[in-house]
Amino acid sequence: MDYTKRTSIDCYDSARKLSLVRIFLLAAALGIFSMLDIHQNLIAFGIQTRLSVILGAVIAVVIVLVLTVRLVRSPWQLVLHLVFDLIWCGAIIYFSAGVTGPGISLLFVVVLAGNFVLPGMVVFILSGMAGLVLVAIALLYLLGASPFPPGSLPPSAVESGPILSKLFTSLLALFIVDSLGQGLARRYFEQGLVVGGMLDQIGEGVLLVDKKENIVHINDEALRLLHLPEHCRGQNARLYLSDVPLLIEMVFTRTDTCLKSLTNVEGCYVLVRCSNAHGRKGKVMGRILTMNDETDVRRLEIEARRSEHLSQLGEMAAGIAHEVRNPLASLRGCAQELGDICAEQGSEDATPLAAIMIREADRLSRIVDDFLRLSKQSQPNKEGVCLTEFFYNISEQFKLNEQAKDVIEIHMPDNLYMEVDIDHLYQIIINLINNAIEAVENSPAPLVLVTGSVWNEHQVLIEICDNGCGIPDAAKEKIFTPFYSTRSQGTGLGLSLVQRLIRANGGSISVRDNSDAAETGTRFQVLLPMYEEHSL
């Protein structure tokens, strides 16, 4: 873990903490001057006014830095702030009896604060710079260049022995404080990273909002589920949650523990729990959201229900095949015979009725065939299928269909092979294209576009797109369920059969809106294994 990595938000937080330290240093500096034994001497020698002007300038600059803390967004800006603190603290030391005075403690605070606001990035640099400041002040006093007139300071403040002794002791103490500060800062930030890392690894999204409505903590999973940017940390939660009214209610309106579900912009099904966050003494500190991505669980539930439907369907299919198919064939034969007789006798009313009976008998026969295909558990006989040749045969077949020949466009790359059962692939593609043709019946410029491409090194993608009426969002999760159909005359078995055949061949199918079409339309995406021995 790299605890030295600092984001702009981290730098801003560090600058705010450094501002508090700077205010403390300023208060300490004023206290040091008020306690100096030379205070009366300053009045006697008439330099109090000059010192007050210097202190006023330092206070003004410190206040400006505190007010501009929001501008700090990079570690180097923090470094400049720390360097300035060393300079003005050095000035305080220079005007408070030098290295032998009480002001030297201010430098220790700056060095220690630097280790916490910029952990691991200023190793011994601040202590070295603080040491240079002390050496410069000591030389000025040894050379007689102190800001006070002779006789206004005690002998220990101007004699070389005490000055050098205090300088050596202070330099050694500075590096010891720096070393200890680095160790403390490392453990402090690594502990924070471990806690944050654990929150990132638990697989749940965590979002903590304080009583001022600011985002105190948010882990990576919560950023993903809520589609929030990295820089939302430390910002107002209402601003970033405003697009989800449910979350606004849970966090800012309610005060109890509540559990809700929502669907995010990626279509993930998210289960959200919101409760009060309590401090050590049980005081409410804010609201905490925990989020679970239940998409896979919900998908498994849907698949379980489909499997149950298919299991029941299998039991029904055998009985239907025996009880319906044979009588249905007899009825169709009788209707055909009656139609021929009526045609020979010139009965204009009976002939259309016989045609209706034949057509409906054929439709019932197709339903029975779909039942039988769904109930079969046969394993696919996989082989290498060239998509160019396969779809050439498909296109030739649809050229004989007056309704479809001017609607379908097929674009396939050369030398692309699938490893599938060719009979299964035929049923899959014919079903999907027929559905697309029916969907574009009322379109002013009907189009069914079939394309193929390499999805990855192991899979081929086939897309069947149309510019028809589209599929409602609520129906997209149900269209592969047996007996569910969006068409009044549909049996609800075609797409169930398609999905089952695709999965039997090691592939997957998905459906979404066709944003590339002139109208809403629908896009079915079929992923099947690539036959890698022949594909590019």
In order along its 536 residues, the chain shows pLDDT tens digits of 444 455 555 666 677 777 777 777 777 777 776 665 544 455 444 455 555 666 666 677 667 666 666 666 667 777 777 888 888 788 888 877 778 877 788 888 888 877 777 766 666 787 888 888 888 888 888 887 877 766 666 777 777 888 888 888 888 888 888 888 777 777 766 565 545 555 666 678 888 888 888 887 788 888 888 888 877 877 888 888 888 888 888 888 888 888 888 887 777 888 888 988 877 677 788 888 888 888 777 777 777 776 676 666 666 665 666 566 667 777 777 777 777 787 777 776 777 777 777 777 777 777 677 666 655 656 778 888 888 888 888 888 877 776 777 788 888 888 888 898 888 888 888 888 888 888 888 788 888 889 888 888 888 999 999 888 788 777 777 777 766 666 656 666 678 788 888 888 888 888 888 765 445 688 899 999 988 665 44
360 and 491 fall within a common domain: no
182 and 55 fall within a common domain: yes
Measured distance CA(384)–CA(529) in Å, rounded: 10
Measured distance CA(496)–CA(473) in Å, rounded: 18
The set of residues, in sequence order, having a beta carbon less than 8 Å from that of 318 and lying 6+ positions away, is: 375
Measured distance CA(293)–CA(270) in Å, rounded: 5
Q: Which domain holds residue 232?
A: 202-293
Q: How many domains does the chain have?
A: 4
Last residue of one domain, picked from the residues 152, 177, 200: 200
69 and 189 fall within a common domain: yes
DSSP letters, 109-169, are: HHHHHHHHHSTTTSTTHHHHHHHHHHHHHHHHHHTT--SS-TTSS-GGGTSHHHHHHHHHH
Measured distance CA(194)–CA(189) in Å, rounded: 9
Task: Note whether residue 153 is domain-resident.
Answer: yes
Cα→Cα distances 486→350, 413, 438, 448, 476, Å: 33, 33, 12, 19, 10
Measured distance CA(460)–CA(271) in Å, rounded: 34
- Amino acid residing at 451: T
401 and 439 fall within a common domain: yes
Q: Which structure tokens are listed for 519?
A: 């109208």
Last residue of one domain, picked from the residues 250, 268, 293: 293
21 and 157 fall within a common domain: yes
Measured distance CA(415)–CA(270) in Å, rounded: 42
pTM (global) more than 0.85: no
Task: Note whether residue 535 is domain-resident.
Answer: no
Please report the pLDDT score of residue 150 as a whole number.
66
Please report the pLDDT score of residue 370 as a whole number.
65
Please report the pLDDT score of residue 43 as a whole number.
47
517 and 394 fall within a common domain: yes
CATH number of the domain that 275 lies in?
3.30.450.20
286 and 305 fall within a common domain: no
Q: SS3 letters for 457-478?
A: CCEEEEEEEECCCCCCHHHHCC
Task: Note whether residue 509 is domain-resident.
Answer: yes
